[in-house]
Amino acid sequence: MVGCGQSQETVTDKPTPPTTNTPIVIDNWSADGVISDKEYSNNVHYGNFELYWSNDDQYIYIGIKVQTLGWLAFGIQPGLKMKDADMIVGFVQERKVYIFDHFSTGDFGPHNEDTELGGTNDIFEYGGSEDEGFTTIEFMRELDTGDGWDIPLTKGPNKIIWAFGTNDGSGFKHTTRGYGEIIL
């Protein structure tokens, strides 16, 4: 998600309509890197970026499936562009899942790990996989972590940003990005 640069980029701001199913039992959730039927109660698709979520009174459970073998990111975004965005960045490399709790301090980054800024890593459980050209990351965190570098998720609409790229590891230069919202 760092920098816009001059690279070829696709921006998608118009999602397919969100789907809200009947509430699920969160006990069915598993951070196994596989998004199964009825595991999440809500979803929205932004082109090749699929976002799934469920929540209870304390936690949000997120599943992200993207057509890339690179990194992907999801952020809670109160301002413009990336400024002050609370972000989760993840990728799978050689069957190992890497996931980071970040915060962006500028319009186009930089975004550093919360722990580098004096905060905490607030991702409790996570998993991921790569299969047939798709990367899937699942994680959970508290709706309100109490960390000054995390934005609380509240009942009703919450603005989000999302992005993905083609490489794993550092650099996180996006090829596709967009804005949207999730409703709790």
Q: Is residue 2 part of a domain?
A: no
Q: Is residue 3 part of a domain?
A: no
The count of domains in the chain is 1
87-96, 98-107, 129-138: segment of lowest average pLDDT? 98-107
Q: Residue 87: pLDDT band by 50, 70, 90 thresholds?
A: confident
**Residues linked to residue 162 through DSSP beta bridges, in sequence order:** 74, 178
Higher pLDDT, 9 or 80: 80
The Cα 90–Cα 80 span in angstroms is 22
Q: Is residue 4 part of a domain?
A: no
Residue 151 scores a pLDDT above 60: yes
Q: What is the dihedral of CA 16, 179, 138, 125, to 10 degrees?
A: -150
Q: Which domain holds residue 61?
A: 10-183
The Cα 127–Cα 14 span in angstroms is 28
| Alpha helices (runs of H) in the chain, residue ranges in sequence order | none
Q: Is residue 42 part of a domain?
A: yes
Most confident of 23-37, 80-94, 127-141, 158-172: 127-141
Q: What is the CATH number of the domain that holds 146?
A: 2.60.40.1210
Chain segment 23-69, per-residue pLDDT in tens: 344 667 889 999 998 899 999 999 999 999 999 999 999 999 999 99
Predicted structure pTM score: 0.80
The Cα 1–Cα 165 span in angstroms is 8
Residue 153 scores a pLDDT above 80: yes
Residue 166 scores a pLDDT above 50: yes
Q: Is residue 1 part of a domain?
A: no
Q: Is residue 87 part of a domain?
A: yes
Q: Is residue 80 part of a domain?
A: yes
Q: Is residue 5 part of a domain?
A: no
